[in-house]
Amino acid sequence: MVVTKPLESSVQANTGTNTKKRSRSNLLPVRHIERDFFLCDVFDYALKDDGVSMEAPIFTLATKPDLSVWHWSSKDGSREVTVTPSVQGRATQHDKDVLIYVVSQMTEALNRERPDAKNRTVRFTVYDYLVSTNKPTGGKEYQRIELAMERLRGTSIKTNIKTGGQRVKEGFGLINRWKIVERSPDDERMIAVEVELSEWLFNAVQAHEVLTLHPDYFRLRKPLERRLYELVRKHCGHQTAWSIGLELLQEKAGSKGTLREFRRMVREIIEADTLPEYRMSLDGADKVIFYTKDMHRLAAGMMKRSN
């Protein structure tokens, strides 16, 4: 009968040492098991936007400070949003880029089951944000992001729309707070920023109430172009076409001008043909039709509707 020694005994016998004394590991200890913030460090991700702000016109289309209170209600009156600006003005459609960037990163991290994606506090480097959102990286952009943060923090929302199955029964900012966590030693430009998302937006992201945006969204120059793309992406979905009256489209877009002016701007966008994935048409009865640029899908959709 052959008796084998336990491995520990063999090691002790061969080395002449007691393994109980060998307490040091070759690896450093895990010093930060869980961060108290989510770090935006994902490089391969799809652009995501929360479904509620794609439907409700929360962000102003104005390029100058918008200091007026804005109220919107759905056609059936079941959903309402009141947006109150701060002294810096209401958050703009371009300010929303910060939220789209954060929501995109957090959604991808949730898909990868990263534990830090459960934090409402988010940290990101400004340079990565500027590159990801197709912005210049000069000094003026660093100033613009500070102004954007102030407007996002100062704009107050009151709504009965639920996110993640929950209703926030109080006024809240688009973000709760923000701060610069690191500055450049050379020119005092911010390097990293920390943002705390509102409970309302955070609930939507955690519940995956988001939709994918085309990467060319950040190439759209005009606020109305971005807003119209959001609306058609939200309403068209997997369909090949979506139609809506011009007056209702103006209401959903949040445009404050006259219907005549809105009609002119829509025609300019139709002529420019800049919207990713979709084209538009406007007939004499002020009916706007959005339809996919994929002609094979469009033809298949038309055949399906005719049958």
> How far does Cα 38 stand from its chain's mean position?
15
Asked if residue 19 belongs to a domain, the reply is: no
> How far does Cα 207 stand from its chain's mean position?
14
* Whole-structure pTM value: 0.84
Residue-level pLDDT at 28: 62
Asked if residue 14 belongs to a domain, the reply is: no
Pair 42, 153 in one domain: yes
pLDDT tens for the chain, residues 1 to 307: 444 444 444 444 444 444 444 445 566 654 554 667 888 888 789 999 999 999 999 999 999 999 999 999 988 889 999 999 999 999 999 999 999 999 999 999 999 999 999 999 999 999 999 999 999 998 889 889 999 999 999 999 999 999 999 888 788 999 999 998 877 666 666 788 999 999 999 999 999 999 999 999 999 999 999 999 999 999 998 889 999 999 999 999 999 999 999 999 999 999 999 999 999 999 999 999 999 998 888 777 777 777 6
Pair 158, 242 in one domain: no
Pair 129, 74 in one domain: yes
Pair 235, 208 in one domain: no
Whichever domain contains 252, its CATH number is 1.10.10
- What is the total count of domains within the chain? 2
In DSSP terms, 153 is beta-bridged to: none
Within 8 A by CB and 6+ apart from 199, the residues are 120, 168, 172
Pair 165, 199 in one domain: yes
Residue 197 phi, psi (nearest 5): -70, 155
Residue 56: exposed, middle, or buried by beta-carbon count in 10 A (0-12, 13-18, 19+)? buried
Q: What letter would DSSP give residue 4?
A: P
Pair 53, 178 in one domain: yes
- Between CA 52 and CA 209 the distance in angstroms is 8
State the Rg of the chain over Cα.
Answer: 26
In DSSP terms, 278 is beta-bridged to: 292
Domain end marker among 188, 213, 238:
213
User: Are the C-beta atoms of residues 240 and 289 closer than 8 Å to each other?
Assistant: no
Pair 183, 56 in one domain: yes
Write out the residue range of the structural domain in which residue 254 sits. Answer: 221-307
Please count the other Cβ atoms lying within 10 Å of the Cβ belonging to residue 193.
Answer: 21
Pair 178, 249 in one domain: no
Residue-level pLDDT at 24: 56
Pair 227, 202 in one domain: no
Domain end marker among 213, 235, 266:
213
